[in-house]
Amino acid sequence: MKQGTRLFAALVLSACFSVSSSWSSATTNVMPKETKMTNHFFAMDTGTRDAKHPTPESQAKMLKELGYAGIGYSGVNGIPEMLEDLDTNGLKMFTVYLGIDIDSRNYEVDPSWRRAMRELEGRDTVLWITLSSKRYKPSSTQGDQQAVDILRKLADPARESGLRIALYPHAGTWLERVEDAVRVTKKAARRNIGVTFNLCHWLKVDDQKNMQSVLKSAMPHLLLVTINGADSDGKNWDQLIQTLDRGSFDVRQLLKALNELGYTGPIGLQGYGIGGDVYENLKRSMEAWRRFSADSKPSTTIR
């Protein structure tokens, strides 16, 4: 009996120590050292076309070769052709970029958009929506209700096709800040509407010291993120959109912040206006992505 009692006591002490250790680990959120970003990384078609890669087939083959997970598409024309070549190469159409003028008083979803949504049915593609206006100034809340009414009309057929909508903050438009996208998303109150964090547009209109607070506010609604190389003090698009291996802005810190916040969604590469050979641009950016994503482990304590 004494031997059994001692054994029982030892087991109890061992269990208590195990629970204590687990509690300590849980409260500090210590992340394993091998943790790294596993987000899908795709290329926006703003940086996939040139004279050597003019067709969906040539672009899809290039993206496959370089290791991208797919493409961010623009417009509603040619979707079936692009999907066919993406499917052949095991790639995904992550997004379709579209713009809406919220000044329209009697907005109805364009028939070509409805057709595109049917073509994308079941593919988990996100409709990337910019919102512009001549009537309302950028970020003016006076346009909110008009935007909400339009987005609700779009959200219904999108939902029927299993698609989501991500508002796309774009400098110079009515919806130019991440905060605008979060505000409108909350007011729209539809489960298939969320927001995007676009690095180049955020740098254009916001202060870098606000990055953490902006990401935290967006996180409950964050569906997509776009990145690129950029200069921290950049003013024009040549400085704010570069290949991922260039620029003074520390993209690693952005990726680290996203990782700490638990963001696991897709990340797109912006390539608008970079020029030159798209293959070389995409190759350089993919090499940088592999370095950055491996170096973006969370801190030992999540704040």
Tokens of 83: 């999907």
Tokens of 96: 């379709």
Report the candidate in 66, 71, 64, 124 with the shortest Cα–Cα distance to residue 88. 64
Tokens of 51: 């004279």
Q: If you count them, how many residues does the chain have?
A: 303
Domains in the chain: boundaries: 39-294
Q: Under CATH, what is the fold of the domain 39-294?
A: TIM Barrel (3.20.20)
- Rounded to whole angstroms, the Cα distance separating 296 from 256 reads 4
CB neighbours of residue 211 within 10 Å: 18
Q: Which residues contact 238 (CB under 8 A, 6 or more apart)?
A: 273
Burial class (CB in 10 A: 0-12, 13-18, 19+), 303: exposed
- pLDDT per residue of the chain (303 residues) written in tens, 0 to 9: 444 444 334 433 344 333 333 322 222 223 333 357 899 999 999 999 999 999 999 999 999 999 999 999 999 999 999 999 999 999 999 999 999 999 988 999 999 999 999 999 999 999 999 999 999 999 999 999 999 999 999 999 999 999 999 999 999 999 999 999 999 999 999 999 999 999 999 999 999 999 999 999 999 999 999 999 999 999 999 999 999 999 999 999 999 999 999 999 999 999 999 999 999 999 999 999 999 999 876 654 333
